[in-house]
């Protein structure tokens, strides 16, 4: 048994079980209320707004409006994290890219959870888009999984702080 005055060996903190034990202890010490039904509905509405934003007439403004200014994207296939609103704009809306239109985006929510001021959405998504114009236009469709973390704002709204997605790896040609 570990007493408050005992010192833990450094190796304890580097082990997965040590980290898990500390995480469980921290969560139990900082017990916060579960998400209310209203919070869960609002969080689901953020997912709906995310899909609608990509399909709307001004996706850059509409999509970015849903993200915290310090948000982080964790793209598929091991692409490096994209951090902050400027980097996210450059990643999703590059100035020199061919015109791209998202033609379909759905997110099936499998789980909403969290407590206090943090929440997550986990589920499956399908997206289709057309990049380029005329005979050079390419249609792409992907399906995969996603995980979105949100934080409650001072005004009670929820913004996305982290967004992660994956889809099947590219097939060899």
9 within domain boundaries: no
**Domain tally for the chain?**
1
Question: Do the beta carbons of residue 150 and residue 119 sit within 8 Å?
Answer: yes
73 within domain boundaries: yes
With 0-12 / 13-18 / 19 or more C-beta atoms within 10 angstroms meaning exposed / middle / buried, residue 173 is: exposed
77 Cβ neighbours under 8 A, 6+ residues apart:
166, 169, 170
67 within domain boundaries: yes
> Percentage of the chain with pLDDT > 70?
80
Identify the domain containing residue 110 by its residue range.
Answer: 35-166
51 within domain boundaries: yes
86 within domain boundaries: yes
Q: Of 53, 51, 141, 59, which Cα lies nearest the Cα of 105?
A: 51
**Rounded distance, CA 19 to CA 115, Å?**
20
How confident is the prediction for the chain on average, in pLDDT? 85
pLDDT score, position 12: 38
**Rounded distance, CA 25 to CA 22, Å?**
5
22 within domain boundaries: no
**pLDDT 10s digits, 44-64:** 999 999 999 999 999 999 999
7 within domain boundaries: no
**Rounded distance, CA 72 to CA 70, Å?**
7
Query: Picking from 3-12, 31-40, 56-65, 164-173, which range would have the lowest pLDDT averaged per residue?
Result: 3-12
The domain spanning residue 71 has which CATH number? 3.10.450.50
Query: Picking from 9-18, 85-94, 150-159, which range would have the lowest pLDDT averaged per residue?
Result: 9-18
Alpha carbon separation from 96 to 60, 92, 166 (Å, rounded):
15, 11, 25
pLDDT band at 20 (very low <50, low <70, confident <90, very high): very low
pLDDT band at 8 (very low <50, low <70, confident <90, very high): very low
Alpha carbon separation from 123 to 21, 39, 126, 144 (Å, rounded):
27, 18, 10, 9
Residue 164 clears pLDDT 80, i.e. is over it: yes
14 within domain boundaries: no
Question: Do the beta carbons of residue 65 and residue 157 sit within 8 Å?
Answer: no
């Amino acid at each position: 048994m570990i007493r408050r005055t005992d010192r833990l060996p450094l190796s304890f903190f580097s082990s997965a079980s040590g980290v898990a034990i500390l995480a469980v202890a921290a969560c139990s010490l900082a017990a916060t209320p579960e998400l209310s039904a209203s919070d869960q509905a609002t969080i689901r509405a953020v997912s709906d707004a995310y899909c609608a934003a990509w399909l709307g007439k001004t996706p850059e403004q509409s999509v970015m409006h849903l993200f915290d200014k310090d948000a982080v994207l964790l793209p598929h296939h091991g692409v490096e994290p994209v951090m902050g609103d400027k980097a996210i704009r450059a990643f999703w809306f590059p100035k020199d890219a061919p015109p791209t239109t998202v033609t379909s985006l759905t997110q099936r929510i499998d789980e909403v959870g969290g407590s206090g001021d943090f929440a997550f959405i986990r589920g499956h998504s399908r997206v289709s888009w057309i990049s380029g114009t005329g005979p050079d236009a390419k249609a792409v469709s992907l399906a995969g999984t996603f995980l979105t973390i949100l934080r409650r704002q001072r005004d009670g709204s929820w913004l996305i702080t982290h967004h992660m997605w994956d889809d099947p790896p590219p097939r060899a040609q």
